[in-house]
Amino acid sequence: MPAEFTYNEAVEKVMSLADFERSRTAPKHSSFHLERMSLLFDEYDKIHLKTPSIHIAGTNGKGSVATMISSALSEAGYLTGLYTSPHLHRVTERIRLNGKPVSETDFAQLVSKTWHKVCSVSNSRKYGGVTTFEMMTLLAIIYFAEKQVDLQVIEVGLGGRLDATNLVNTEISVITPIGLDHVETLGPTISKIAREKAGIIKSNIPVVMAPQVAEAKQVIVDVANNQGADLIDVAQSCKWKRSPKEFNQQKVNVKTEQQEYEYELALGGAYQAENSVTSIMALEQLSKKGYEVFSSPNILSNAFMKLNWPGRMEEIEFEDIHILLDGAHNEPAIKQLVNSIAVTDYAKTTIIFGALLGHRLDPMMNLLHKLGANLVAVKSRHPKSVRPQEIKKAAEKANINVLAIAESVSLGIKICMKAGNVNQKLLVTGSLSVVAEARECLLDIDPELYSNIRIVETPSI
């Protein structure tokens, strides 16, 4: 019998593996391959092929699209697994069943019964040690299979072609908007990044493509044609319009070739409306495969109003101050954020900003400058956090007034509160790690700390 770990022990085991999410040096592209993941799945009789999957890649919006699809499938009566990354507060958030995170007990049991085989594959010296993300992927696939889910919605971790998730049994592939991000690993151009993301496209499996810049679109079209995959171009296949009702809620109307939809969406921003349209196009493809996704006219409104996706255009109130939390972490995401709040009270207020290595500061600061806001530069606990002094330099280069620098997110918030010039509004952005720590500070959430993370520069292969 395998040793039974407590939840804390299980988390320590998982986080003791090589963790590229937290490595301060971007892993080389040659560091990634699928052979090690194949060995893990072989240990469990190819369990990755058991459950049909909706597989989602892209630079921005893939987590939101995954959550929307999962919520709609659950509302339609399907037992649905959802695997996303990264997490905000606890690793259990990454593995969800009908929207609810895996319990600590189940997580501990999953690690307990898989740890021996994970170590065996790591110690085989054939392909190197199993990584944190690979193990989390294994745990999710096993959990969903054990729960006998009808469908699993799987978000790619990094890239697509060589991502640990790219062995699943795919029903529908989805590619959300692609932009420049993780250029050290995926490549310095949109076309190179798009080719990696398009690596999830499978032969004769429909692929839904969200609106893309021309360079990315051409690559995806070419790969789909080469694979014989039916390509559904969201920008050409339907029309939509949105009517913002509140800051974090909107009404959306969508007309596709199949039908017309009207629904409420419990997320703000034009880009979330677009994400919901991409989700609908994927759901329509599932319906063509025989899944009864739209059995009720209220399914989309019911599903999309139940969405709980914290840290994405999330508004909270603390001591009479309204605070907007958004994990925008790269140029395309910051552009979407700026466009969404430019005409609201969150423009020309104070921005609490922190970033991670691997994301270009100058383009983000040039966009934030358009808001005319002050800025406090902060540093989260994440090992890849950029020093606030570097953020200050980039902000001043973009002619943004920097009020202060802080060595923690909580200190940055306190500085803003004491300054008394926040006009009752604050914007926290730059990375999900910064947003997570802000939520912990403001909502009194106990953080899950990882003291034994093993960060490697490149794995042995």
Lowest-pLDDT range of 45-59, 72-86, 131-145, 260-274: 260-274
Going by C-alpha positions, the residue among 271, 281, 276 that lies closest to residue 332 is 271
Supply the pLDDT for residue 217: 97
User: What architecture (CATH level 2) is domain 7-305?
Assistant: 3-Layer(aba) Sandwich (3.40)
Which H helix or E strand runs over 105?
A: helix 104-123
Characterize 227-265 residue by residue with b for buried, 16 or more Cβ atoms within 10 angstroms of its Cβ, and e for exposed: bebebbbbeebbebebebeebbebebebebeeeebebeb
pLDDT at residue number 450: 81
Tokens 């006009």, residue located = 423
Q: Which amino acid appears at position 51 of this protein? A: T
CB 314 within 8 A of CB 273: no
Distance spanning both ends of the chain, measured CA to CA: 31
- State pLDDT tens for residues 349-370: 899 999 998 888 999 999 999 9
Residues 36 and 123: beta-carbon distance below 8 Å: no
Please give the C-alpha separations between residue 48 and each of 119, 142, 456, in angstroms, as whole numbers. Answer: 19, 8, 27
Neighbours of 342 (CB within 10 A): 13
pLDDT at site 184: 61
pTM for the model stands at 0.92
Q: Are 59 and 193 in contact (CB under 8 A)?
A: yes
Among 190, 163, 218, CA closest to 33: 163
Residue type, 117: K
pLDDT value at 410 more than 80:
yes
Per residue in 28-48, pLDDT tens?
544 567 999 999 999 999 999
Across 294-436, the runs of DSSP E, i.e. the strands, are: 314-318, 321-325, 350-353, 374-377, 402-405, 425-429
pLDDT-based confidence at 403, cuts 50/70/90?
Answer: very high
Q: What confidence tens digit (pLDDT) does each residue in 416-429 have?
A: 888 765 567 899 99
CATH homologous superfamily of 314-443 equals Mur ligase, C-terminal domain (3.90.190.20)
pLDDT score of 158 more than 90: no
Quote the pLDDT of residue 9.
95
> What pLDDT score was predicted for residue 181?
67
Weakest mean pLDDT among 32-41, 99-108, 149-158, 375-384: 32-41
Reply yes or no on whether the pLDDT at 18 is more than 80: no
For residue 447, cis peptide bond before it (omega within 30 degrees of 0): no
Q: φ and ψ at 264, to 5 degrees?
A: -95, 140
pLDDT band at 178; cut points 50, 70, 90:
very high
- pLDDT at 458 (0 to 100): 33
Domain boundaries, the chain: 7-305, 314-443
Question: Are the CB atoms for 59 and 178 separated by under 8 Å?
Answer: yes
What percentage of the chain reaches a pLDDT higher than 90?
73
Q: What pLDDT, in 10s, does the model give residues 60-82?
A: 999 999 999 999 999 999 999 99
